[in-house]
Amino acid sequence: MPMPELVRRLGRMAALRSALALTAVFVLVSLLAGGAAAWLLEQELEALVDTTLTERHAELGAQLDAAGELERLAATYDEWSKSHRMELWSFETDAGRTLGEPTPQVLETTGYSYVDLEGIFPTERDDWRVFVAPTEGGRLAVAVSAENILESMEIVRNTFLAVGLVVSLVAIAGGLAVGVATQRRHDRILSTLQAISDGNLSARVSPEHDRDDVDTLARRIDESTARTEKLLQQTRGLSVNIAHDLKTPLARLRAQLEREFPASPERESALGQVDGVIESFDGILQIARVEAGDAKTLFAGVSLTDLAETVVATFGPVAEDSGCTLALRPLADPTVLGERGLLVQLVANLVENSLQHGGTSTRIEVGVTPVGIEVLDDGPGIPADERSEVLAPHYRREQSRSTPGHGLGLALAKAIAELHDAELSLTDREDGRGLRARVVFPARAFLTSS
């Protein structure tokens, strides 16, 4: 999987994303808090040492003030130095003489600082904390080996880094685990909902536990799907039962008419009426069945050009005989996923609608475009306010009450389009001359693009 695609998909996983974001915030806050604590500790340590240095400076400064002490202090420096391990002092008189530790580089500094003094004591580190300030008769420097304080600081830093690393790793691992687990539960719900919306009403999330609101959500989805499935089964059972309970008597009636009455115009008329009832009945049942979506299990690749050719070859002569023309206009040859028989019926119904309402010498075109199929005519069209109504079952336009048909053709066309997730629309043609019935398939319905 290419990186941007992976990032895009991760970005769409809400649970994983929020778990990772929370982990990142936690790690950042831990690192900042730890860092601040370490920094404060170091400041505290340094302040402690500096206080000692200031006191020592004041003490020595006071001794230097006393007359005659200068020479004595200088003479006893070695002794002092022995009793003050890891400490030293250096004094530069105004006259330029240096007493105490001969470390001129120390006296070049001012205030508190770290200075590297090599070989004064056999210590591991040569860093010294130094305080230099003028005092009576010259500049006095006091220093203490920084070995302890720097080592302490290092320990603080290392401890902080180690703890920070462990905490971050544990937090990231925990965050990932929680995120992936939650994401998996979300994905399970999502894939189940996808299956349900694809018509598989027996799909269930079936959560393994009942721990939290995600499980409750899953359970509620399962319950409502089960209810919907049951309702649909009842409805289907009902339509089958109605069909059975009404069609058997109709069959009996038809058979009785055929068998018990001699052939006559009256019998033919009665049979015609029975057949009309049956036809209407079949139409309603068919719309109900198409809407139930069972035919989705029969979906296969259908070439729209091939389908349009079939419809034109079938209805072309019918159009010609009523003074109209029916032509094919293939602008593309897409293959869509669908039920061929139903799609033929859809286009046939649109063509028959144009034949019935277009009037004589109507020119009808069946066009195949990259997005679907359309039927255009140059007839009177449908007034804008009637367009949504003509797609409802049993709607028949005022002018068409005299023409045959049970007003189900366009309603069935719409149901078939919806079964394929396609959109059926009736509009004026762009040039305003006639009707344009379009069936636009969703992008996912196409098996090949033209």
- Which CB atom, from 87 or from 339, has the smaller least distance to another protein? 339
Q: Which of 18, 81, 148, 314 binds another protein (CB under 8 A)?
A: 314
When asked if residue 315 is in the footprint of another protein (CB under 8 A), the reply is yes
When asked if residue 359 is in the footprint of another protein (CB under 8 A), the reply is no
Q: 249-267: b or e for each residue (b if 16 or more CB lie within 10 Å)?
A: eeeeebeebeeeeeeeeee
Q: Look-up: residue for tokens 């170091």?
A: 42
The Cα–Cα gap between 160 and 38 comes to 7
When asked if residue 269 is in the footprint of another protein (CB under 8 A), the reply is no
Residues 6+ apart with CB under 8 A from 50: 112, 129, 131
When asked if residue 404 is in the footprint of another protein (CB under 8 A), the reply is yes
Stretch of 16-24, 124-132, 327-335, 347-355 lying at the interface with another protein (CB under 8 A): 347-355
When asked if residue 337 is in the footprint of another protein (CB under 8 A), the reply is no
Tell me how many residues contact another protein (CB under 8 A): 48
| Angstrom distances, CA of residue 350 to CA of 346, 355, 384 | 6, 9, 17
Which residues within the stretch 418-447 sit at the binding site for another protein (CB under 8 A)? none
- Which CB atom, from 124 or from 258, has the smaller least distance to another protein? 258
When asked if residue 377 is in the footprint of another protein (CB under 8 A), the reply is no
When asked if residue 323 is in the footprint of another protein (CB under 8 A), the reply is no
Q: Look-up: residue for tokens 């022995």?
A: 82
Stretch of 20-28, 172-180, 213-221, 340-348 lying at the interface with another protein (CB under 8 A): 340-348
The Cα–Cα gap between 439 and 413 comes to 10
- Which CB atom, from 137 or from 405, has the smaller least distance to another protein? 405
When asked if residue 111 is in the footprint of another protein (CB under 8 A), the reply is no
Instruction: Count CB-CB contacts under 10 A for residue 239.
Output: 15
Site string for another protein, 158-187 (x = CB under 8 A): ------------------------------
Min dist CB 284 to another protein, Å, is 12
Q: Which of 282, 333, 386, 423 binds another protein (CB under 8 A)?
A: 282
Min dist CB 208 to another protein, Å, is 35
Reported for 15-19, long-range contacts at CB under 8 A and 24+ positions apart, including other chains, are: 15/179, 15/182, 15/183, 15/185, 15/186, 16/179, 16/180, 16/182, 16/183, 17/179, 18/179, 19/175, 19/176, 19/178, 19/179, 19/182
When asked if residue 285 is in the footprint of another protein (CB under 8 A), the reply is yes
When asked if residue 310 is in the footprint of another protein (CB under 8 A), the reply is yes
When asked if residue 306 is in the footprint of another protein (CB under 8 A), the reply is no
Min dist CB 335 to another protein, Å, is 18
Sequence letter at residue 208: E
Stretch of 27-35, 47-55, 191-199, 285-293 lying at the interface with another protein (CB under 8 A): 285-293
When asked if residue 255 is in the footprint of another protein (CB under 8 A), the reply is yes
Q: Which of 87, 101, 339, 378 binds another protein (CB under 8 A)?
A: 339
When asked if residue 7 is in the footprint of another protein (CB under 8 A), the reply is no
Phi, psi of 81 (to 5 degrees): -60, -35
When asked if residue 328 is in the footprint of another protein (CB under 8 A), the reply is no
When asked if residue 358 is in the footprint of another protein (CB under 8 A), the reply is no
CB 112 within 8 A of CB 104: no
Min dist CB 170 to another protein, Å, is 56
The Cα–Cα gap between 408 and 393 comes to 5
When asked if residue 355 is in the footprint of another protein (CB under 8 A), the reply is yes
When asked if residue 256 is in the footprint of another protein (CB under 8 A), the reply is yes
In the complex, the residues that contact another protein under the rule CB under 8 A are: 240, 243-244, 247-248, 250-256, 258-259, 263, 268, 271, 274-275, 278-279, 282, 285-286, 289, 294-295, 297-298, 310, 313-315, 317-318, 321, 339, 341-342, 344-345, 348, 352, 355-356, 404-405, 409
